[in-house]
Amino acid sequence: MGYTNIAAVAGKGGLFNIVKPTRAGVILETIDDQKKKLVVGGNARVSVLSDISIYTVDAEGSVPVADVFKKIKDEFDDDPGVNSTSDDDELHAFLKHLVPDYDEERVYASDIKKLVSWYNILYKHEKDLLSKGSEDGEDEGNENK
């Protein structure tokens, strides 16, 4: 499994494995021990983690979230030191430490909370994926479990 098979759905908390597409949308499965299935329609905003980036002010313009997850794993492992109840200044300082040139005007505290929440979910259920950056976190084939 790679970042191309994990998705976030607008309005739904957590992360989901992409099981398979359907004619009208996509079948998803929660990344937890319950493995609940969910069908989302074509009008739902589904974002694949491999396509999500953090805005930066450098020439690149963004850094893939997979690379940020790898930095968190390498430096903090199981305790990033912030969570969804941390205040905005702590969250921004945390991201500034990881991505010094992130765009402070376009990345909000709510985005950082989501990033930390996703990291914690992946750490608990897909720990081996976090050691891979955006280049080596891609799947060779498009196999679904």
| Among candidate residues 49, 66, 81, the one where a domain is terminated | 49
- Does residue 141 sit within a domain? no
At residue 142, the pLDDT reads: 41
Kindly state whether residues 74 and 119 are assigned to the same domain: yes
Please state, in angstroms and rounded to a whole number, the distance separating the CA atoms of residues 16 and 14: 7
Kindly state whether residues 64 and 85 are assigned to the same domain: yes
Kindly state whether residues 67 and 126 are assigned to the same domain: yes
At residue 124, the pLDDT reads: 92
* pLDDT tier for residue 123 given thresholds of 50, 70 and 90: very high
pLDDT digit string, tens, across residues 64-74: 999 999 999 99
Contact 84, 14 (CB under 8 A): no
- Does residue 29 sit within a domain? yes
* pLDDT greater than 90 at residue 42: no
Kindly state whether residues 106 and 79 are assigned to the same domain: yes
- Does residue 143 sit within a domain? no
pLDDT digit string, tens, across residues 91-113: 999 999 999 999 999 999 999 99
Beta strands in 53-109 (DSSP E): 53-55, 62-64
Kindly state whether residues 38 and 101 are assigned to the same domain: no
Q: The whole model's pTM is what?
A: 0.87
Kindly state whether residues 81 and 111 are assigned to the same domain: yes
Q: Please give the residue range of the domain that contains residue 38.
A: 3-49
Long-range pairs for 50-55: beta carbons < 8 A, 24 or more residues apart:
50/2, 50/3, 50/4, 50/134, 50/137, 50/138, 52/8, 54/95, 54/99, 54/102, 54/107, 54/111, 54/115, 55/102, 55/103, 55/106, 55/107
